[in-house]
Structure 1
Amino acid sequence: MVIKMYGLCRQLRAKSLPMRPESASGVWGFSMYSASMAAKMFSIILFVSLSTSGLTMSKNAVAQEPDAKHISNYVPNAKLVGKGMFSYYFWDVYTGELYAPEGEYANQPPFALKLTYQRDLEGKKIAQRSIDEMKKQGDLSADDSDKWLSLMNRIFPDVSEGDVITGIATKDGASVFYVNGEKADEIEDKVFTQRFFDIWLSDKTSEPKFRKKLLGSG
């Protein structure tokens, strides 16, 4: 982008300067003013572009680095199993990354699923969609459905592009959730943990292609 804008400014300067000088107070004077403005424009664009890039990199670093540490605390020798983009029709929703010991998913804890959102979503809709997907895996009692929905409504915030939610299934069968590197909650319920992560990892998932990507075979 910066290179293109620099080229544009050079073109503006070339067009502003005449082939021969007329008078200091005539076309030549106006041309020098235009060239000066073009140079200032380029300087401003360059500064804003570099500043924005730096802020974006800093934000991503702050959001992602703590997650890796938290994953390692629960998943020994955690390595990436697989990753992929989950899309709904034409919209990219989130990227998913599955981590397991030595990068080998054994269909049992411990492991971690990291979701980096690509668009804005309401937390209550994330929670409701999670319950709906759990029900697709098999029967779910009304009591469990209501209890788990209430828990997830408390855990999942409204998200924007770049936000990260990491779910960790511990070796004891609990679910630990982090939002942008900050611990959100822990649910000590083995049945919940199984049903929640089955949304993506069960062979009954509604998104088998995405499951293959997470397992490194898609």
Structure 2
Amino acid sequence: MKPLQPLPPRAHRRQALALGAACALAPSLIAMSNATHALTPTTAPATELPTELRSALPASRLVGTGVLRFFGLRVYEARLWAAPGFVPEDYARHPFALELVYDRKLEGAAIAERSIAEMRRVGSFTEAQARQWLALMQQAFPDVQPQDRLLGLNDGQGEVRFFHNGRQTALLRDADYARLFFGIWLAPQTSAPALRNALLGLG
């Protein structure tokens, strides 16, 4: 995969990215609300297996769901899908999918850049890895509109696939990346423990 070149710095773009990053993947800056355990979901759309999983992970079920808000405004709903036997303490070694359904327009570049910052909370990695993973995520995460879906599929053996509205956008085989990226939501070191508890059914 050919790495993508970083976007040139512009003052007005930095402002947009800062707002987008805060809304996209910065739980430490976001007020958490309506994070609920969803083993018995109340809305039909949340119980329907995403199309991406019907062949890749057909036995998966909704484990939990939570809503991320920014100053009271919905940013996205996160949903965790996993097959029976999923162990939260060893999440990276199990097949599962994390689905985000967005309520706001956000830039993909902001999502990618904030992902790197949040991954550093989970564990350390080199600058070379950061550059490689940033390039991957810039390809994986397009700009999103309200009701767009981003889904990350972990096969439990180090392979990660990303989808935007059902279309695959990127694939990477890297167990370190899988553990650190999904750890943004699922690792004990997450900056959003309430959302983690909701996704894992621990709250």
The TM-score, its normalising length taken from structure 1, stands at: 0.66
Q: Which residue of 2 aligns with 1:102?
A: 84
Q: Displacement of 1:104 after TM fit?
A: 4.1
Which structure has the bigger radius of gyration? 1
Distance 1:76 1:171, change over 3 A: farther
1:213 equivalent in structure 2: 198
Partner Cα distance (1:120, 1:154) in 2: 17
1:95 counterpart letter in structure 2 = E
Contact 2:76-2:103 at 8 Å conserved across structures: yes
Is the counterpart of residue 201 in structure 1 residue 201 in structure 2?
no
Q: Which residue, out of 57, 78, 82, partners 2:64?
A: 82
Q: Which residue of 2 aligns with 1:180?
A: 165
State whether residues 81 and 105 of structure 1, in contact with CA within 8 Å, keep that contact through their aligned partners in structure 2. no
| Alpha carbons 1:114, 1:164 under 8 Å: kept | yes
Query: Hey, what does 1:150 align to over in structure 2?
Result: 135
1:169 aligns with: 154
Equivalent pair of 2:136/2:170 in contact (CA under 8 Å): no
Cα distance in 1 for residues equivalent to 2:85 and 2:113? 31
CA contact (8 A) 2:86 2:94 kept: no
Q: TM-score, normalised by structure 2?
A: 0.71
**Pair 1:72-2:57 in alignment:** no
1:81-140 deviation line (CA, Å, top 9, x unaligned): 000101123221100110111384442320000000010100000001100001111222
**Structure 2 gap segments, 5+ residues each:** 1-44
Count of residues in Structure 1 that have an aligned counterpart in Structure 2? 155
**Residue 160 and residue 174 in structure 1: after superposition, are their counterparts in 2 closer, same or farther (change >3 A)?**
same
In the alignment, structure 1 residue 139 sits paired with structure 2 residue 124: yes
Q: Distance in 1 between matches of 2:63 and 2:86?
A: 6
DSSP-derived class of the 2:190 partner: coil
Post-superposition offset of 1:171: 3.0
* Partner AA of 1:81 in structure 2: V
Identity of aligned residues (%): 37
Deviations 1:142-161 (A, max 9, x none): 10111111110111000011
Q: CA deviation at 1:68?
A: 1.9
Which structure dedicates a bigger proportion of its chain to helix? 1
Contact 1:79–1:103 under 8 Å retained in 2: no
Three-state SS of the structure 2 residue aligned to 1:115 is strand
Question: For residues 145 and 114 of structure 1, do their structure 2 counterparts lie closer, same or farther at Cα, with a shift above 3 Å needed?
Answer: same
Q: Please, what is the CA RMSD of the aligned residues?
A: 2.0
Distance 1:119 1:125, change over 3 A: same
Paired position in structure 1 for 2:73? 91
More relative contact order, 1 or 2 (CA 8 Å, 6+ apart) = 2
Structure 1 unpaired stretches of 5+: 1-60
Residue 113 (structure 1) aligned to one of 85, 94, 98: 98
